[in-house]
Amino acid sequence: MNAILPRPAYEDSLMQITFSEDKPAFDGANLTVRFMARMDGEPVVCAITAEALEDHFGADSALETALMSAFDHGCNRIRSVCAEALDQNHGEGVVLHSGLFRLEGMEPDLGAAA
C-alpha cells in the first residue's frame, strides 16, 4: 500500500491528509529531509530541518545517514506535527523547525494521568 488512509489532520480539522510511503529525500543544500503529503488530495512538499532531527529524534550529526535514520525513528511524530502545521496554514508546504516540536498543541499526546 502506498499511503496511509486519509484522516483528519487532527480531531477538530475538516481537512484530510495522507503521507506517502515513498522514501523521504535528503536535501544537503538546505540540510533538510523532504517528504510528501497530500492535503485534500493535493500534493504538498514538506521538510524537517537537520536541527529538529538532532534536537528531537536522535540524529547525532547532520550527515545524510544520521538524518534519514532519525526521520525513520520519529516518522509518526513528525507526521503528526506536520499534519497540525498543514492544517494551521491551510495546506501550504511546511518546513518543520526544532522549535515547532516544543509548541503547545504540537507536543505528543501523553495520555491522561492515572
Look at residue 90 in the predicted model and tell me its pLDDT: 84
Q: Above pLDDT 90, what percent of the chain?
A: 61
* pTM for the model: 0.80
Look at residue 106 in the predicted model and tell me its pLDDT: 56
Q: Which domain holds residue 74?
A: 7-100
Look at residue 1 in the predicted model and tell me its pLDDT: 39
- The 10s digit of each residue's pLDDT in 36-86 is 999 888 999 999 999 999 999 999 999 999 999 999 999 999 999 999 899
In a domain, 1, yes or no: no
Concatenate the DSSP letters of all residues of 68-113 into one string.
HHHHHHHHHHHHHHHHHHHHHTTT---EE-GGGGGSTTTS------
Q: Which residue has the higher pLDDT, 26 or 112?
A: 26
Count of helix runs (H) and strand runs (E) in the chain: 2, 6
Total domains, the chain: 1
Q: Which residue has the higher pLDDT, 52 or 11?
A: 52
In a domain, 107, yes or no: no
In a domain, 110, yes or no: no
In a domain, 90, yes or no: yes
Q: Supply the CATH number for residue 92's domain.
A: 3.30.160.140
In a domain, 34, yes or no: yes
Name the residue with cell 504538498. Answer: 44
Dist. CA 44–CA 46, nearest whole Å: 6
Between strands 16-19 and 42-49, the pairing is unpaired
Rounded-to-10 torsion of CA 69, 97, 24, 84: 110
